[in-house]
Structure 1
Amino acid sequence: MFRRSFVSALVGAGTLAAIRTPALAADHKPVVGLVMKSLANEFFKDMQEGAVQHAKERGDFTLIPVGIQSETDIDGQIAAVENLVTRHVDAIVIAPADSRALLPPIARAIKSGIKVINIDVAFDPASMKKRGVDIAFVGPDNRDGARLSADVLAAKLGRGGKVVILEGNPGAENGVQRRLGFMDSINANGLKLLDSRTAHWETEEANSVFANMLTAHPDIQGVMAANDSMALGVVKAIDASGRSGKIQVVSFDNIPAIRPLLENGKVLATVDQFGAQLAAMGVDNALKEVQGQTLTGWIKTPVKLIKGRDAG
């Protein structure tokens, strides 16, 4: 049974901070490195906080959490993995910023004897096969979750509704899957897609990208943002344009900052993927591997649709 906790605190690119827990195990306590994406994103702050709490509750392993400076800081993640290998940790739990670029250092970690569990963003299967590694993925069905969120927008707009998509990182598998989920809903519900562009998960970039979309397509009626951080930037642009209440927004993650916007009607819906629990689940599975089990495939975690005041 997985314990349910969550974690998040700002650590610079490649900077590691050991979290020591009371010595409840007699001999060696396994050391687990948790490599996350940008800790400027509340989702990963919560993930880190949850993992730290989980380490305290279990008391039988040492946690080293690390985050990067931005969602596109791939070099920072690579440096973090290499640092953990140098420190001879027992296991690494990683939410890769890129589903392919992080595989070379991770493959080297596995070759050195370190156990690896993949969370949040799945590694690319073809790239894993090419490098001869099979890494278990602990994470949600991003495509299905995005479809659930988009279906709320479709119900609000009706057939023919004009929408745009704000995509995540092109190299991140969860971004790819969320766009596919949005497209599933667009096609099933007869919506009209006007534009689809990446904003790399970032709030300020989303604000700029959507402002440009709005200029190019003043008839936009709805927005599907692949995460809540981008939805925040979209709402800011909508407010600045004087069209608050006229353009509907749905997103994904259920971070604390999105909840007031659900309550005041500026966001129709989001999807909770229980990020705080995700790292804890990843750690628990990594420790199973350290203890001799071999895990493979997709260990699916839940998603839950969260509707706002005006979702109906």
Structure 2
Amino acid sequence: MFGRSSKMPAKTPDQVRSMRRAGLVVGETLAELVDAAREGLTTGELDTVAEAAIRGRGATPSFLGYQGFPGSICVSVNDEIVHGIPGDRVLQEGDLVSIDCGAIVDGWHGDAAVTVVVGGDAAARPEDLDLSAATRRSMWEGIRALVPGSRLYDVGGAVEDSIAASARDLGRTLSIVDGYTGHGIGTEMHQDPHVFNERVREKGPTVTVGTTVAIEPMVTLGTHESHELDDEWTVVTDDGSRACHWEHTVAVTDGGLWVLTALDGGEADLGDRYAPLDLGTSRGPR
């Protein structure tokens, strides 16, 4: 199992700033894709928008060609959880769409995911809005659990507790997808260690200043069980329930946290935990 080392490998401040440049490309591309996702557009056309947005910012898509993946983004619709291949599927009003995006700048990676409803909140099922809000909230609770000197697997406990509280408050079934985790990130998109989305018995490595990880809860309105389709990529829920995926790449700094793939660096959601390395601007260096 990944993550048996006692400490997380730390990035230097300059390396974190380099990762921020990649993170901003991801954040800006996802913002474009949220605006572009509309009824009648195919997931392949959304992928075309993404590749142009990434390359237009001087970056390279992390996903394209990764272990043979054919797209620049993953587009997962309704009961699809993650790794949806862009193609001929036409988006419909009310679809719940998770978009996962990665970019490389000067050898450094950024990775993030958002979930959007085609047609906006007015077109959404109430349960889908609840699912997305709960998943996003659990991601931020996991991010806040990154404290120097703490153990990395505390993130999973924070995510799990948040989802349990949301399920109780909303009166809905919410399940964390089994077997999928976040990860370390830097000069490779996926690095040791795993970042779990639930509480585990091991404590994991110690979080240090310079730690960079991608935190990405995946949650459903039904089962925690899933399977891979015949395309050997797309993961769907076993019971056909809808799924949601949110993700950010995060750096631990001397003063707190810098969310490298959030356009505001995480300021709006972190409050006094927000601590970019470049205090002259909330968006950090470019």
Normalising to structure 1: TM-score of the pair?
0.28
Larger Cα Rg: Structure 1 or Structure 2?
1
Q: Name the one with the larger helix percent.
A: 1
